[in-house]
Amino acid sequence: MLLFLAFIGSLALLLLSARLFTRAAERVGLALGMSTFMVGVVIVGVGTSLPELISGLFSVSQGVSEIVSGNVLGANAANLLLILGVSAVFSVLRPVYLGESYIAIDLQFLVGSAFVLGVVMYDGVVSRLEGLCLLGVYLVYVLYLLKEGSSGEAKSPRPPLKKLDLLILVLCAVGLYFGAEWTVNSLQGLSAGLGVPPAIVAVTLLALGTTLPELAVSLSAARRGKAALAVGNILGSCIFNALVVVGAGAVYGTVQVPAELTSFALPFVLGATLLFYLLVQDRRISSWEGLLYLGMYGLFVLKISGLA
């Protein structure tokens, strides 16, 4: 019980620090003259996945790199099936209609990132060279977004740079460091206490915990009839997880993908990504499709945890 409470507390510190860090970084970026689109793509896009990234680097440094692969696969399954399913089921405007940019850019890169992730993970090891390739693909994605989205964007006046925002950045960076370290340590303790491999704890508890903020935001957006806005953030988060979280972890130190992930979690996430791609070709997500996603996520958790 104490280990579980320690895990919840350290995860809460990690998530809160990431959220405050991202908001302060947004304001600093605008004050330094970055365009609103660039702030959204670079800062917000990275900020929403900071918990996965920082905890992943700590996992590699402590010799439990399988937490990286488990967290990424679990988070992407939760993003695609749980969060998008909830968004579709509880959307005021049914079905959820997707904009042209999601179909033309994000959806294509989502499938591409899943394919690349499957290629580098299938043998159970993601090497440094493969990590560099993943980061290179993400760089192409960001440059493409900036090229397509920043053209024609009107310049807005620069807000003043506040010392308070800089202080928040420093304090939240400290919070991210200790939150990630304590989260990884407590997760290892939970794994030992439950007699379950760290990768399985990461793909279930850690992945669900790190996606809870996105779930809350998406549910709120769905109730306000703006579920489509949450879809872009979720797709971007999946792409970042697959390319940057795994890529950075592999560059920092080789990432292991244990057999319990390559035998079920990896093909399941790849299949879910392909299914999502096929179902949204009509540019909408119906409530029935949302129920299908939720059912698939429930099956995923039951199977990966050994309860079914």
Task: Kindly state the tokens that stand for 6.
Answer: 């320690």
Find the Cα–Cα–Cα–Cα dihedral 116, 86, 78, 212, rounded to 10°: 130
Ordered by start, the domain boundaries in the chain are 2-304
Q: What are the pLDDT digits (tens) for 40-85?
A: 667 776 777 888 888 899 899 888 899 999 999 999 999 999 988 9
- In the chain, % helix, strand, coil (3-state, to 5) comes to 80, 5, 15
Residue 35 has pLDDT above 70, yes or no: no
Which pLDDT band holds residue 212 (cuts at 50, 70, 90)?
confident
Question: Which among 98, 101, 99, 110 is positioned nearest to 148, based on CA atoms?
Answer: 101
Would you state the pLDDT for residue 158? 76
3-17, 44-58, 224-238: least confident range: 224-238
Strands 255-256, 96-97: parallel, antiparallel or unpaired by DSSP? unpaired
Contact 234, 102 (CB under 8 A): no
pLDDT (average), residues 151-179:
80
Write out the E strands in the chain: 96-97, 125-126, 255-256, 284-285
Q: What are the pLDDT digits (tens) for 273-298?
A: 999 999 888 888 888 999 999 999 99
Residue 94: phi and psi, rounded to 5, are -105, 135
Which pLDDT band holds residue 208 (cuts at 50, 70, 90)?
confident
CATH superfamily label, 2-304: NCX, central ion-binding region (1.20.1420.30)
Separation CA 94–CA 108 (nearest Å) = 24
Contact 157, 52 (CB under 8 A): no
CB neighbour list of residue 37: distance below 8 Å, 6 or more residues apart:
146, 149, 150, 153
Q: What are the pLDDT digits (tens) for 104-162?
A: 678 889 999 999 999 999 999 999 999 999 999 999 988 887 776 655 555 567 788 88
Q: What is the rounded average pLDDT for all residues in the chain?
A: 85
Residue 39 has pLDDT above 80, yes or no: no
Separation CA 180–CA 184 (nearest Å) = 6
Residue with tokens 């996992």, as numbered in its chain: 59
> Cis (ω within 30 of 0) for the bond into 197?
no
Strands 96-97, 125-126: parallel, antiparallel or unpaired by DSSP? unpaired
pLDDT (average), residues 234-238:
85
Secondary structure class of 33 (helix, strand, coil): coil
Residue 32 has pLDDT above 70, yes or no: yes
Would you state the pLDDT for residue 229? 67
pTM of the model: 0.86
Separation CA 290–CA 274 (nearest Å) = 15
What does DSSP assign to residue 257? -
Which pLDDT band holds residue 255 (cuts at 50, 70, 90)?
very high
Residue 211 has pLDDT above 60, yes or no: yes
pLDDT (average), residues 28-49:
73
Would you state the pLDDT for residue 149? 61
Separation CA 200–CA 32 (nearest Å) = 42
CB neighbour list of residue 15: distance below 8 Å, 6 or more residues apart:
51, 179, 209, 210, 212, 213
- State what percent of residues in the chain have pLDDT above 90: 35
Residue with tokens 């290179």, as numbered in its chain: 136
Residue 307: phi and psi, rounded to 5, are -90, -10
Residue 36 has pLDDT above 70, yes or no: no
Which pLDDT band holds residue 15 (cuts at 50, 70, 90)?
confident
